[in-house]
């Protein structure tokens, strides 16, 4: 039996071209009035997960094992930069738009799932060993990919948030992943003391 601690350091970067044709249509602007924008979001964080494992030796030829790892949530703190971001203003000639580069301090919550792995090993003959295993991971924790502002009334979230149902949101993408299963089988043939041949097959359910 064993236990351990994993230290996770994560860096993330999201980039996306911004199409403002919807803004043009909404305010009756001729197509092509607004130049396409570009969003660049970066962040990093450190988190801990805990793991343990247990090995049961049924006989000299057969062993079973189980291991598990806890989940955690990363908070990737960083900055969001949007180039050619359109901002409207009222003047004597009506509503006019200008485009500029805006930045905002943001965080990206990212769920890391807990998982359980089962494994088995059986030495069929002196030269052939059979292997099998399966892993379950709770990916249903990953419901959405959100970029959340760390500022009050930020230049991006104040415009995008109300339309997304939360004034803190810079962007929101629904994910709604499902828990997954991964299974594998394999074999090792020790042809000579120097040469071993391995073959196997792995299957994973869709998220």
Question: Does 88 map to a domain?
Answer: no
- Alpha-carbon gap, residue 187 to 58, rounded angstroms: 19
Local confidence band at 92 (pLDDT 50, 70, 90 cut-offs): low
Question: Does 188 map to a domain?
Answer: yes
Q: What are the Cα distances from residue 25, in Å, to 20, 22, 34, 163, 179? A: 9, 5, 11, 16, 40
Give the per-residue pLDDT at 93: 67
Q: Mind listing the pLDDT tens digit for each residue in 11-34?
A: 999 998 988 888 888 888 888 888
Instruction: Answer yes or no: are the C-beta atoms of 143 and 175 closer than 8 Å.
Output: yes
Question: Does 195 map to a domain?
Answer: yes
Instruction: Answer yes or no: are the C-beta atoms of 27 and 95 closer than 8 Å.
Output: yes
Question: Does 66 map to a domain?
Answer: yes
Question: Does 90 map to a domain?
Answer: no
CA dihedral angle for residue 94, residue 100, residue 104, residue 107, rounded to 10 degrees: 110
- Alpha-carbon gap, residue 200 to 172, rounded angstroms: 40
Q: Mind listing the pLDDT tens digit for each residue in 114-171?
A: 999 999 999 999 999 999 999 999 999 999 999 999 999 898 898 888 888 999 999 9
Pair of tokens at residue 61: 């030829």
Find tokens 């901002």 and name the residue.
87
Question: Does 126 map to a domain?
Answer: yes
Q: What are the Cα distances from residue 52, in Å, to 67, 70, 103, 143? A: 6, 9, 43, 27
Local confidence band at 98 (pLDDT 50, 70, 90 cut-offs): confident
Task: Identify the CA nearest to 172 among candidates 156, 183, 186.
Answer: 156
Instruction: Answer yes or no: are the C-beta atoms of 21 and 31 closer than 8 Å.
Output: yes
Question: Does 22 map to a domain?
Answer: no
The rounded mean pLDDT for the chain is 92
> Which helix (H) or strand (E) is 12 found in, with range?
strand 2-18
Q: Which residues pair with 128 in a beta bridge?
A: 189
User: Could you tell me the residue range of the domain that residue 178 belongs to?
Assistant: 2-12+46-77+101-204
Give the per-residue pLDDT at 128: 97
This prediction's pTM = 0.78
How many domains does one find in the chain? 1
Find tokens 């994993």 and name the residue.
6
Three-state DSSP class for 140?
helix
For 28-45, what is the mean pLDDT?
91
Question: Does 119 map to a domain?
Answer: yes
Percent of the chain topping pLDDT 90 = 74
């Amino acid at each position: 039996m064993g236990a351990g601690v994993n230290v996770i350091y994560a860096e993330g970067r999201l980039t996306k071209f911004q199409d403002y044709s919807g803004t043009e249509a909404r305010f009756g602007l001729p197509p092509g009035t607004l130049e396409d924008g570009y969003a660049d979001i970066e962040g990093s964080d450190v988190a801990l997960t805990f793991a343990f494992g247990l090995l049961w030796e049924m006989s000299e030829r057969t062993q079973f094992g189980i291991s598990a790892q806890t989940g955690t949530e990363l908070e990737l703190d960083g900055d969001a930069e949007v180039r050619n971001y359109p901002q409207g203003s009222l003047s004597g000639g009506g509503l006019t738009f200008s485009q500029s580069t805006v930045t905002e301090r943001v965080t990206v919550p990212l769920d890391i799932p807990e998982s359980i792995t089962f494994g088995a090993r059986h030495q069929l003959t002196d030269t052939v060993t059979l292997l099998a295993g399966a892993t379950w991971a709770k990916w249903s924790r990953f419901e959405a990919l959100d970029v959340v502002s760390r500022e009050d009334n930020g230049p991006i979230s104040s415009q995008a948030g109300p339309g997304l149902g939360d004034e803190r949101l810079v962007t929101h993408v629904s994910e709604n992943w499902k828990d997954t299963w991964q299974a594998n089988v394999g074999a090792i043939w020790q042809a000579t003391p120097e040469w071993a041949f391995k073959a196997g097959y792995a299957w994973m359910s869709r998220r």
